[in-house]
Amino acid sequence: MLIDFIINFCILFTFAILTYIPFQNKLNVYIPSSKYTPFILGLLSGLTGCLLMLTAINITDVVIMDGRMAVIALSGVLGGPFAPIISGIIIGVFRLFMYGYSTSALIAGSSTIIVGLVIGVCSWKKTMTFQNVPYFFGYSIIQTSIVLGFLGSWKFETSLAIISFIIFSIVSFSIIFITLKQLSSLFEKIKHIEEISVTDYLTGLYNNRKFQEHTQNLIAKNEIFSLLLLDIDYFKKVNDTYGHPVGDEVLKELALRMKDTSKPFGGIVSRNGGEEFSILLPNTTDEKALEVSDLVRQSIEKKLFQISTGEKLDITTSGGISTFPQDAVTTHELYKLADEALYLAKTSGRNKVVHINQNILV
């Protein structure tokens, strides 16, 4: 019997790991469409439940014990309300005809279907999570224990079997539950580390590394796009007068305005260092780039920056633009030309945007 318990648990554990990682998109495994996830998980859970029954522990000729309830409960966490309903129906129907149709099979199969339906309907109102799944699982164990007792006529041997079933179910579910929670925590930390590696710590914008990656991707598509470099005018004076904490406040607010203004145009905003920012504008010609860039400039100029001292600062920016592929075809050259245009904007009066190709400004 111990070997049967171990085999059943191993199948259950394998199911949990192999469904959790890809369907929670923790390792960026390709799933055709998220809308199919509940149905795929419901089907996989149902087939796993059938496999668990084929390796189940026999209590009597008509009563078997396995980990199918854990599968149904976990499918609800991973796949939402539809998954436990589908898995419950598949497992219940399989149980109905597993040893040939009988009254006991009908009761056991119907009970499994009911468990799946109840968990599915309840999770529609209260989304299943790692925090509340033990309650759903507890319900399934209680109902199944009652059914086992009824089918076994509440004999002493049946009571011992029910106790064994409860212990096996709780222990196996707890091990899987703790493992999945630890995996979830680990993957969240990895995700956070990945975000930090491509994000500017202060503004939340992309950093220079991610800027390079986005630029290379746009070049690889071989479609027109423009690069805008923006620099805050006289930012050193802000830091010298009010201190770096206030300077940081200005940078954060500036980042928000840049994102909000460029978002309708697909702008990809990065902080390339210090007070220098960039915006990649996909599918944008030089004329359109000038138009969008000036909207960004105006969003910064027209509204004063409220700082923690209670004062309001007048902040302006200068910008330089280059366009792919008419001006350059490499990241380095695009950046160099945009930087040259930025220099022209600064030396010709600041608070303006210049395009390197046309040597025009707004």
Domain containing 266 — which CATH number? 3.30.70.270
In a domain, 238, yes or no: yes
pTM of the model: 0.59
Q: Based on the domain organization, do 55 and 107 belong to the same domain?
A: yes
Q: Based on the domain organization, do 186 and 62 belong to the same domain?
A: yes
Q: Based on the domain organization, do 165 and 255 belong to the same domain?
A: no
C-alpha span between 250 and 243 (Å, rounded): 11
Written as tens digits, the pLDDT of the chain (362 aa) is 678 778 878 887 888 777 776 665 544 444 555 677 788 888 988 898 888 888 877 766 656 677 888 888 888 887 889 999 999 999 999 988 877 778 888 888 899 999 999 999 998 888 888 888 889 999 999 998 898 888 877 887 778 878 888 888 888 888 888 888 887 788 778 777 877 778 888 999 999 999 999 999 999 999 999 999 999 999 999 999 999 999 999 999 999 999 999 999 999 999 998 899 999 999 999 899 999 999 999 999 999 999 998 999 999 999 999 999 999 999 999 999 999 999 999 999 999 999 998 654 44
Kindly give, in sequence order, each residue whose CB lies less than 8 Å from that of residue 60, ignoring residues fewer than 6 positions away: 151, 152, 158
User: Which domain-ending residue is among 150, 177, 198?
Assistant: 198
Q: Give the rounded distance of the alpha carbon of 300 from its chain centre.
A: 32
Q: Based on the domain organization, do 76 and 102 belong to the same domain?
A: yes
Q: Based on the domain organization, do 24 and 130 belong to the same domain?
A: yes
SS3 state of residue 11:
helix
Query: Which CATH number do you get for residue 159?
Result: 1.10.1760
User: Which domain-ending residue is among 198, 216, 245?
Assistant: 198
Q: Based on the domain organization, do 180 and 239 belong to the same domain?
A: no
CB atoms < 10 A from the CB of 212, how many?
16
C-alpha span between 339 and 320 (Å, rounded): 6
What is the extent of the structural domain holding 60? 2-198
Closest listed residue to residue 183, CA positions, set 44, 75, 24: 24
Q: Based on the domain organization, do 134 and 38 belong to the same domain?
A: yes
In a domain, 203, yes or no: no
Residue position matching structure tokens 């005809």: 97
At residue 63, the pLDDT reads 62
At residue 27, the pLDDT reads 47
Q: Are 321 and 353 in contact (CB under 8 A)?
A: yes
In a domain, 225, yes or no: yes
Kindly give, in sequence order, each residue whose CB lies less than 8 Å from that of residue 206, ignoring residues fewer than 6 positions away: 198, 199, 200, 214, 268, 269, 270, 271
In a domain, 263, yes or no: yes
58 has which bridge partners?
64
Strand 305-306 and strand 276-282: the pairing is: unpaired
Active site residues: 275
Q: Based on the domain organization, do 183 and 227 belong to the same domain?
A: no
In a domain, 251, yes or no: yes
Q: Based on the domain organization, do 17 and 155 belong to the same domain?
A: yes
Closest listed residue to residue 208, CA positions, set 274, 164, 117, 140: 274
Domain tally, the chain: 2
In a domain, 340, yes or no: yes
Closest listed residue to residue 246, CA positions, set 200, 306, 314, 317: 306
In a domain, 314, yes or no: yes
Kindly give, in sequence order, each residue whose CB lies less than 8 Å from that of residue 316, ignoring residues fewer than 6 positions away: 232, 233, 297, 300, 301, 350, 351
Interior angle at CA 301, CA 303 and CA 245, nearest 5: 75
In a domain, 311, yes or no: yes
Q: Reply yes or no: is the peptide bond before residue 325 cis, omega within 30 of 0.
A: yes
Residue position matching structure tokens 């309300």: 81
Residue position matching structure tokens 């030089």: 286
Q: Based on the domain organization, do 217 and 180 belong to the same domain?
A: no
Q: Based on the domain organization, do 193 and 271 belong to the same domain?
A: no
Q: Based on the domain organization, do 212 and 339 belong to the same domain?
A: yes
User: Which domain-ending residue is among 176, 198, 220?
Assistant: 198
Phi (first) and psi of residue 328, to 5 degrees? -165, 160
- Tell me the DSSP string of 254-282: HHHHHHHHHGGGT-EEEEEETTEEEEEEE
